[in-house]
Amino acid sequence: MSEHDHAHTPAPVERRAEAVEGALVDGGHVRPQDVETFARLYEDEIGPMNGARVVAKAWVDPDYRERLLADGTAAIAELGFGGPEGGYLIAVENTEAVHNVVVCTLCSCYPWPLLGLPPDWYKSAPYRSRVVREPRAVLAEMGCEVPDDVEIRVWDSTAETRYLVVPQRPAGTDGLDEQALAGLVTRDSMIGVARL
Amino acid sequence: MDGIHDLGGREGFGPVVVEADEPVFHADWERRVWGMAMAAFAGGVCNGGQFRHSIERMDPVHYLSSRYYEHWLTGLATWTVERGLVDHAELERRAGGAFPLSRPVLAPVVADPGQDVESPRFAVGDRVRVRATSHRGHTRAPQFVRGRGGVVVRVDRPFPMPDVEAHTADGRTRREPVYCVRFDAGELWGDSAEPGAVVCVDLWESYLEEAG
C-alpha cells in the first residue's frame, strides 16, 4: 500500500461516528440527550409487539378488520400507534388466494411504529434486489413456501406509504383470546416472509 | 440518480442472510448514529429527500461494502458538510483519519418547486406507464419500472415531491398525488418472470403518463 493510499484509509467507523456526533453537538445542531432518547425508544418501546396487537385485534374483531383495511392510519391510531414512518399506513391482508410481501428497493422504508426498526436482511442488497424479481424463490429460501396457486403481491415502499401485512389466522386458534393470539404473530409474518 | 441504491431487479446477489435473534443495533456506534440522525431530523437539519440523496451519492463500492448505519453516518456527514454545519477537515481531525463522504450532487438546483397538484389526474383502474426518463438527481421512481406499463390500484393524497425537495436551495417542494401501480411480473421481467406474481410500486404523478 502506498503512502497516499494509507493517508486515505478511512478512520474506523466508530471514530467517524464519534466525530460527527461531537461536531453536531458542539455546533448546537443536536442535543445529546435526544440521541439517547431516540435510541432507547426504539430498543424498548417500539417493536413488532405493536403490530402483533393490531393483527390480533383484526382477527377477533371484524369491524376493526374492516376499519384497518379501509384506513390503516386511523385504525392503528385507535391503539395509540403512529408517528415517524407510520403517518400513512396501508394494511394488506393475506387470503387463500393472495400472499403479500413488503420491500423497499430504494432504501429501507418500514412501518416503524408497528414493527420497530428493520432487521439487517430487510435492508440488504440480496433482499432488495431479488424479492421483486423472484419473490417465490426468495420466500422459499427463507422457509416460506407459498403454494403455486397463491398469487404473490410484492409491495415496494417507494413513497410515503408504509405497509403492514395481515397474516392469515392459523387454524386451531379458535379458543385463544386477543392477547394469546398476539403472541403468535411474528415480525416476519407482518413483513410477509413467513406464514403462520 | 441511477445509483447503486436502486437495487430492485439487479442480479448477482446471493441468498438473503437472516440472523437469528438479531439485536436492534449491532454495536454502540450504530445506536448512536441512529439516535443522532433522528435528533438531527427532529431539529430540521434536513428533509427526507435531502438525506436519502446524500446516501445515494455514496461511492458504489463503499455503499455495498459497508453496514447500513454507515450509510446513515456517511449521508449525515456529507449533508452537514455541504451545508456548512460541520467542517470536513474537523471531522477527519476528530476521527483521527480519513472520513470518506458521498460524491457531489449531479442535478442542478431547482429554483421553483412549482404548484401543488391537488386533484389526481389518474383513477383506480387506469392503465399508466412510468416515464422512461433518467434522473440525475434524487427520485423515487425505481429503474425496474421505468418505461413499464401497469394499472392504478390505489390513489393516495398529495405528498411532498422527493425529486424537488432534495434539490431546492431551501428544501421547499410541491405536493403531488401518489398512485399505487400494479405491474404484472411478465411486464417487468419478460420470460424469466415467476408465474403468479405482481409488484405494486408507489409513484408520484409526474413519474407517470397514460399508457397508449
Per-residue model confidence as pLDDT tens digits over A140-171: 999 999 999 999 999 999 999 999 999 999 99
How much is the mean pLDDT over chain B? 97
For A91, the grid coordinates are 394494511
With residue B203 as reference, give the H or E element that holds it: strand B197-204
Question: To which residue does cell 422457509 refer?
Answer: A143
The CA–CA distances, whole Å, from B98 to A3, B58, B90, B205 equal 13, 15, 11, 42
Beta strands in A21-134 (DSSP E): 89-93, 98-103
Q: β-strands B197-204, B175-184: how paired?
A: antiparallel
For A49, the grid coordinates are 409487539
Task: Please state, in angstroms and rounded to a whole number, the distance separating the CA atoms of residues B38 and B189.
Answer: 37
| A93 at interface of B, judged by CB pairs closer than 8 A | no
Beta strands in chain B (DSSP E): 127-130, 149-160, 175-184, 197-204, 208-210
Q: Could you give the 3-state DSSP secondary structure of residue A161?
A: coil
For residue A114, report the phi and psi dihedrals to the nearest 5 degrees.
-100, -30
Query: With pLDDT > 70 as the criterion, what percentage of chain B qualifies?
Result: 100
**Predicted pLDDT at A7:** 59
ipTM over 0.90: yes
pLDDT at B181 over 70: yes
Beta bridge partners of A101: A154
Task: Please state, in angstroms and rounded to a whole number, the distance separating the CA atoms of residues A96 and A90.
Answer: 20
Contacts of A123 in chain B (CB under 8 A): 68
Q: What distance in Å separates residue B178's CA from the closest CA in chain A? A: 8
Mean pLDDT confidence for B78-92: 97
- Indicate yes or no: CB of B94 within 8 angstroms of CB of A22: yes
**Predicted pLDDT at A2:** 44
Lowest model confidence (mean pLDDT) among A40-44, A120-124, B138-142, B204-208: A40-44
- Indicate yes or no: CB of B80 within 8 angstroms of CB of A12: no
Q: What distance in Å separates residue A80's CA from the closest CA in chain B? A: 21
In this complex, the residue of A38, A149, A156 whose CB is nearest that of residue B38 is A38
Encode chain A (196 residues) as per-residue pLDDT tens digits: 444 555 578 999 999 999 999 999 999 999 999 999 999 999 999 999 999 999 999 999 999 999 999 999 999 999 999 988 989 999 999 999 999 999 999 999 999 999 999 999 999 999 999 999 999 999 999 999 999 999 999 999 999 999 999 999 999 999 999 999 999 999 999 999 999 9
The CA–CA distances, whole Å, from B50 to A27, A117, B24, B41, B165 equal 20, 21, 25, 11, 7
Q: β-strands B197-204, A89-93: how paired?
A: unpaired
pLDDT at B134 over 90: no
Contacts of B26 in chain A (CB under 8 A): 120
Q: Is B97 exposed, middle or buried (0-12, 13-18, 19+ CB in 10 A)?
A: middle
pLDDT at B120 over 60: yes
Prediction pTM value: 0.96
Question: To which residue does cell 414512518 refer?
Answer: A85
In this complex, the residue of B98, B189, B195 whose CB is nearest that of residue A9 is B98
With residue A19 as reference, give the H or E element that holds it: helix A13-26
For A19, the grid coordinates are 466525530
User: In the 8-state DSSP scheme, what is residue B193?
Assistant: P
User: In the 8-state DSSP scheme, what is residue B175?
Assistant: E
Instruction: Provide the residue type at B197 as one letter.
Output: A
